[in-house]
Amino acid sequence: MDSHDLHPSRRAVLSAAALSLAGSGFLGALAPPAAAQTAPAGPDTKAPHTKPQGTHAMLQGSYVTTKDGVQIHVKQWGPQSGQPVVFSHGWPLSADAFEDQMLFLAQRGYRAIAHDRRGHGRSSQPGFGNDMDHYADDLAAVTEALNLKGAVHVGHSTGGGEVARYIGRHGVSRVAKAVLIGAVTPIMVRTAWNPEGVPPEVFDGIRAGVRADRAQWFKDFAPVFYGYNRPGAKPSQGVMDSFWTQGMQGGLLAQYECVKAFSETDLREDLKKMIVPTLVLHGDDDQVVPLATTGKAAVALLPKGTLTIVPGAPHGLCATHKDVVNEALLAFLKA
C-alpha cells in the first residue's frame, strides 16, 4: 500500500493543552464515573452480522423505500450519464455534509449522489436497524433503486464504515472504486486486538452528553470536529451552524444508537473484501477518529489501498479543507 502527504509542510507543534478524543480533553472529560461505564471492550465488541437482506428497493421522488419500509432521502446532482459517485456521511450529519464535493464533481460531469442515513436528516426515523448491517443494506437499496453501475463510493467517518460493510455484504459488482475519508475502519474502540483504540468510556460520555442535552452537546462538539479549537484556527460560525442544523434534523434515538455502530463494529473482514482500488484520506490532526488506529490500520488491510495524509486537517476536512479533498477525489476518479 502507498502512503503520502498532500502537502510537504504541516502545522507547527500543537499546544499540549489541545483537545483530543482519545486523550483527556473535551470528549474524555465527558466520560461518566467508572461505576457507570457500560460500553463493552475487548473481543466482545465484534458486532454480529445479520444475513444480507434482498433490497427490492423502489425510488419515488427523492426517496428510496427499503425492504423493511424505511424511506431513505436521496439527492442527485449532475448528468445522469456521468459516472456515479455515491457519498455516505458521518455522524450526526446528513447528505448535506458533502455538498461541497457534490457541486465540484457535478460541475465536472460526474453524477453525484448522497443519501441521509436512516434516522438522520430527512430519512425515516424507525425505532430499529441503527447498526452497520442495516446501514449497508440501505446503501445497497439506493444503488439498486438508481441502478448504479461502476460507482465510486465515498464514505466519511461513520460513512466509511458503511461503505466497507456494504462491500463486505454485497460485493463489488456495482463498485469501481472506494474512498474512506477520516473513516472509523477497522474499529475505533479499544479492544484486546486494538489496545491503542479509544477507551470505551469516551463513547459512554458521548451518549451521556447527547442524552442530557443534545442541542448544546452538538454546539460544544463542532469546534473539535472542525479543528477550530486549535491555536491560530479561524472558525467559521456558518460551518458550525450547519453542523448543528444537520445534527438536530436527525432523531435522538438513531444518533444515540449509532454511537455503538460507529465505535464498536469490527470491520476488519470487510476491508479485506474491498478488492477495488481504495483511497484512504485522513487528516493528521483528526481529534475525533485517530489516524494511527484507523486510517493507517485500515490501509494495511486493504488489498488495493493507498493512504493520503492531509497535514493539519481535522476530522471535518470535507469542509475545512474542501479544495484539497475535492482535488484528491478528482485525481483518484481520473486515475
pLDDT tens for each residue of 275-284: 999 999 999 9
Helix then strand count (H, E) for the chain reads 10, 10
CB of 29 closer than 8 Å to CB of 220: no
Q: What is the pLDDT of residue 124?
A: 97
With bands split at pLDDT 50, 70 and 90, how would you rate the model's confidence at 61? Answer: confident
In tens, the pLDDT along 108-133 reads 999 999 999 999 999 999 999 999 99
Amino acid identity for residue 278 in this structure: T
Asked if the model's pLDDT at residue 98 lies above 60, the reply is yes
Q: What is the pLDDT of residue 9?
A: 37
Asked if the model's pLDDT at residue 201 lies above 80, the reply is yes
CB of 247 closer than 8 Å to CB of 119: no
Residue 134 makes CB contacts below 8 A (sequence gap 6+) with 68, 118, 128
Q: What is the pLDDT of residue 36?
A: 36
CB of 87 closer than 8 Å to CB of 162: no
Provide mean pLDDT across the span 283-292: 98
Give the cell for residue 19. 483537545
Give the cell for residue 186. 477497522
In tens, the pLDDT along 166-182 reads 999 999 999 999 999 99
**Considering only CA atoms, which of 282, 288, 290, 284 is closest in space to residue 194?**
290
Among the listed residues 89, 153, 282, 315, the single catalytic one is 315
For residues 26 and 335, give the distance between their C-alpha atoms in angstroms, rounded to a whole number.
Answer: 40
Amino acid identity for residue 7 in this structure: H
Residue 18 makes CB contacts below 8 A (sequence gap 6+) with 25, 229, 230, 231, 287
* 278 SS3 class: strand
Residue 53 makes CB contacts below 8 A (sequence gap 6+) with 67, 68, 137
For residues 271 and 29, give the distance between their C-alpha atoms in angstroms, rounded to a whole number.
Answer: 32
CB of 262 closer than 8 Å to CB of 188: yes
User: Which residue ranges make up each domain of the chain?
Assistant: 18-27+51-334
In tens, the pLDDT along 2-59 reads 555 554 333 332 333 333 343 434 444 444 444 333 333 333 334 444 555 555 676 7
What pTM did the predictor assign?
A: 0.86
Q: How many CB atoms lie within 10 A of CB 328?
A: 18
User: First vs last Cα of the chain: how many Å apart?
Assistant: 16
Among the listed residues 94, 157, 242, 263, the single catalytic one is 157
CA 24, distance to chain mean position in Å, is 23
Which CATH superfamily groups domain 18-27+51-334?
Alpha/Beta hydrolase fold, catalytic domain (3.40.50.1820)
Q: What is the pLDDT of residue 29?
A: 44
For residues 82 and 5, give the distance between their C-alpha atoms in angstroms, rounded to a whole number.
Answer: 29
For residues 254 and 198, give the distance between their C-alpha atoms in angstroms, rounded to a whole number.
Answer: 22
Residue 167 makes CB contacts below 8 A (sequence gap 6+) with 153, 175, 178, 270, 273, 274, 276
Beta strands in the chain (DSSP E): 2-5, 58-60, 63-65, 71-77, 84-88, 111-115, 151-156, 175-181, 278-283, 305-310
Let me know if 315 is a catalytic residue.
yes
* 198 SS3 class: strand
Among the listed residues 96, 116, 138, 286, the single catalytic one is 286
Segment among 41-55, 94-108, 214-228 with least mean pLDDT: 41-55
Let me know if 321 is a catalytic residue.
no
Let me know if 153 is a catalytic residue.
no
Q: What is the pLDDT of residue 60?
A: 76
